[in-house]
Structure 1
């Protein structure tokens, strides 16, 4: 589906922006870049800014006119930062992503068209687009870098594509010790822990073995309903071991001071 969506850059003046756009595209799974009459391309600046997305640059199609860039397209969306005198169907970036993916899913060819850094698309070029796309940036500082604008729309396209493909939009990170994280402790491991916990509490003076009251029973109920994993148990046992060591060291220090 994403192969049916092309990014068209019109008359780009700075090659670094072409490289930045290529990087943004590859980040989001887009691969088809069309350059309309670029002022300086190919260029080392473009390669440097692409940061590994040189395959996008190598396969970029270079044409002389916007008409050539749009050959075969069934849906053309042009970015516009300015209000135009003639009202035109307008989409925000999220709607742009959804509309693009719907068209591409049906086998249509889609073009996302971006204009010049200094002036955007002309009125004549915008009239070749079925929809205009406006990125709702801060009105007090609304001008976006070309590559940044490509990143915004490419991101929305990817989010719409993930939704259409029923793929997750977030990937959970698993610990390298995920096996221990998922395994629950056994009853005998819990009993060993409770003995260790009681010893530590006595050592630090929190539990008086002659007057235990119901402290250990309450702690058993607390930890018993916590669903402790083997990894968590290892952490708790480590804390108790160091607690006992510290408590005994303090006792010995006090004994020496008393002498």
Structure 2
């Protein structure tokens, strides 16, 4: 009798597991390359087991229509991937801001190698990204993210949601907001360095014999680094509403998926 009950819940468990896996694979917090694949699968399996025993879920009958079940599996994976992608966009805004600041300071041609993700990343962007990760864990953002994933089964029960055309527009709006946040993070440094360029231009007109191009590079570098140290506390204050917007975007995405 117990074995039959377990078998009846296997289809439901697989659906829960697919939504969990989608988040753990794509999230920048849990989906980093230095996290082994077996650990991501194990965490997804564990979270699916916990959720299956804490939240009342409807059992899914796959005997009548196996293709419908496969379609629901795909949609469940899509929910998890979308939540992970929205989280990724928030951290992408930080890296884009770092890329802009690197270019303004003079590090445009210099990148640091990230051994975790095996990609070249901007120096300033990598620094701010590490700060953002520490702040994210410090404000229990990973707990909020997992809580949103659990709450998604209340808003979007298994299989009881639809993929609407306006979802793509909503994702596009979040994508645009990524660049808006990047500009917000980079604009203090951009403004100061723009004033520096204006001052160097005025200086070159006043003293034509001075090689402003040669002198301007170390001046921009020095002012940029000093300004970066001054605005780091401001970035911490900006990242909190950035993460709050990220959580709101995830909630808004789920609301738009309601049938």
Greater fraction strand? 1
Greater fraction helix? 2
TM-score (norm 2): 0.26
TM-score (norm 1): 0.26
